[in-house]
């Protein structure tokens, strides 16, 4: 059995888990404070929430951890539920996407851990501890995108699967005939945004030859794959799953970072620019930049996304995880109670 820890912020971690789990041969159980997604109702451990900041001091244990406030009931109950499941289920491997604290707790139970590696500056003490103890690092981006500063031991343990999208393997939708107007699709995620509606309206006003459509959790698309494939340009936030979805569609794109811890989205913008797969910008550009940015994205096209996404990221991740779970080192320690 493989356990799969899913962080509750946004919906990208959950989407990645369900994409990989669909290809696993090993039984998989989800571990999260999020509700079970469809199909996981009978293989989901709903963990207590631990994100109430109202109580507790020394939130990061002096920089050793990311979130472990003292005398916090949610932190205590969450750790107890996680380790109790490990003792009961005796998984051969646990994937954490992502939590340093969950990775440490599982490894302290004598169970191998795979940590999903994320972009940005991850050289703080907590991240280094989690990456160092991991049996492997799963990188949902291409080699060279975010690992150039990694120590060799991390690269040796990593699998770079490229962009990992829920749409991998789908045939592209042919572009429909148009009325002569070019179309922009703007994609926002569930993890929050610092670009306000007025900034988007200013960009729309500055590009009168373009028709703008926004999609977000509050205004979801009736068929996002169709819209990704048929847009002339997709403007997306730089979250890993959103970028992977755009890459799967091979859509001409402008990738715009939103503020996240550890500079995660800024790092992705720099990576797509460096690899030449899309037009990128740190933060929402001024209105007068948008005509040129859209034209640049059209000229670049979407074919270069093949450098970012193979179309089989979830399958490759699943094969690797199944193999890790089958190795002798992945057998639970004899001292873990059943």
Mean of the per-residue pLDDT values for the chain?
93
Instruction: Choose the weakest-confidence range: 2-11, 229-238, 242-251, 278-287.
Output: 2-11
Domain membership flag for residue 337: no
Domain membership flag for residue 177: no
pLDDT confidence of residue 186: 98
Which structural domain, as residue segments, surrounds residue 302? Answer: 182-307
Which residue has better confidence, 98 or 55? 98
Domain membership flag for residue 171: no
Residues 198 and 52 in one domain: no
Number of domains in the chain: 2
Residues 324 and 263 in one domain: no
pLDDT confidence of residue 335: 31
Matching residue, tokens 């491997």 = 93
pLDDT category at 334 given cuts 50, 70, 90 is very low
Which residue has better confidence, 175 or 90? 90
Strand ranges (DSSP E) for the chain? 2-6, 28-32, 44-46, 93-97, 113-116, 136-139, 158-160, 182-187, 210-215, 233-237, 253-256, 279-281
Domain membership flag for residue 140: yes
Residues 134 and 196 in one domain: no
pLDDT category at 180 given cuts 50, 70, 90 is confident
Residues 137 and 192 in one domain: no
Angle among Cα 124, 130, 132 to the nearest 5 degrees reads 95
What is the enclosing helix (H) or strand (E) of 249? helix 240-249
Residues 195 and 233 in one domain: yes
- The number of beta carbons lying within 10 Å of the beta carbon of residue 138 is 26
pLDDT category at 175 given cuts 50, 70, 90 is confident
- The arithmetic mean of pLDDT across residues 257-267, rounded, is 93
Domain membership flag for residue 169: no
Q: φ and ψ at 279, to 5 degrees?
A: -80, 130
Q: φ and ψ at 314, to 5 degrees?
A: -65, -40
Residues 13 and 148 in one domain: yes
Give percent of the chain above pLDDT 90: 86
pLDDT category at 178 given cuts 50, 70, 90 is low
Question: Is the confidence at residue 216, as pLDDT, over 50?
Answer: yes
Domain membership flag for residue 176: no
Domain membership flag for residue 336: no
Residues 129 and 219 in one domain: no
Residue 228 and residue 185: Cα distance in Å, rounded? 7
- The arithmetic mean of pLDDT across residues 265-290, rounded, is 97
pLDDT category at 146 given cuts 50, 70, 90 is very high
Q: What is the largest CA-CA distance in the chain?
A: 69
Residue 322 and residue 299: Cα distance in Å, rounded? 41
Q: What percent of the chain is helix, strand and coil (3-state, nearest 5)?
A: 40, 15, 45
The CATH number that applies at residue 118 is 3.40.50.2000
Question: Is the confidence at residue 294, as pLDDT, over 90?
Answer: yes
Residues 153 and 276 in one domain: no
pLDDT confidence of residue 10: 79
Residues 151 and 18 in one domain: yes
Tell how far CA 97 is from the center of its chain: 8
Helix axes of 264-274 and 240-249: crossing angle, nearest 10 degrees: 30
pLDDT category at 190 given cuts 50, 70, 90 is confident
pLDDT confidence of residue 337: 30
Residues 152 and 264 in one domain: no
Residue 76 and residue 55: Cα distance in Å, rounded? 12
Residue 329 and residue 338: Cα distance in Å, rounded? 18
Residues 196 and 226 in one domain: yes
Residues 303 and 322 in one domain: no
Q: pTM value?
A: 0.92
Nearest to 105 by CA among 123, 120, 91: 91
Q: Which residues pair with 138 in a beta bridge?
A: 116, 159
pLDDT confidence of residue 264: 94
Domain membership flag for residue 335: no
């Amino acid at each position: 059995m493989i356990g799969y820890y899913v962080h509750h912020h946004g919906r990208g971690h959950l989407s990645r888990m369900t994409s990989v789990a669909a290809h696993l041969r090993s039984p998989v159980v989800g571990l999260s404070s999020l509700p079970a997604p469809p199909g996981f109702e009978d293989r989901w451990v709903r963990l207590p929430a631990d994100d109430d900041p109202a109580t507790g001091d020394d939130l990061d244990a002096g920089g050793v951890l990311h979130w472990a406030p003292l005398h916090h009931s949610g932190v205590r109950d969450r750790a107890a539920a996680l380790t109790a499941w490990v003792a009961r289920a005796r998984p051969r491997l646990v994937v954490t996407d992502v939590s340093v604290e969950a990775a440490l707790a599982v490894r302290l139970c004598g169970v191998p851990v795979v940590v999903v590696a994320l972009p940005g500056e991850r050289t703080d003490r907590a991240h280094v501890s989690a990456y160092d103890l991991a049996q492997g690092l799963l990188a949902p981006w291409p080699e060279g995108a975010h690992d150039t500063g990694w120590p060799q031991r991390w690269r040796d343990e990593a699998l770079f699967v490229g962009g990992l999208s829920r749409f991998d393997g789908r045939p592209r939708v042919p572009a429909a005939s148009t009325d002569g107007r070019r179309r922009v699709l703007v994609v926002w995620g569930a993890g929050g945004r610092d670009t306000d509606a007025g900034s988007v309206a200013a960009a729309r006003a500055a590009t009168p030859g373009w028709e703008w459509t926004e999609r977000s959790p509050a205004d979801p698309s009736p068929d996002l794959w169709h819209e990704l494939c048929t847009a002339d340009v997709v403007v997306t936030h730089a979250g890993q799953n959103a970028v992977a979805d755009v890459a799967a569609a091979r859509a001409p794109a402008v990738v715009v970072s939103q503020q996240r811890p550890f500079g995660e989205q800024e790092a992705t913008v720099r990576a797509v620019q460096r690899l030449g797969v899309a037009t990128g910008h740190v933060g929402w550009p001024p209105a007068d930049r948008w005509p040129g940015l859209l034209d640049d994205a059209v000229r670049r096209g979407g074919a270069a996304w093949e450098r970012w996404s193979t179309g089989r990221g979830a399958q490759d991740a699943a094969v690797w995880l199944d193999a890790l779970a089958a190795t002798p080192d992945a057998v639970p320690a004899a001292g873990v109670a059943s």
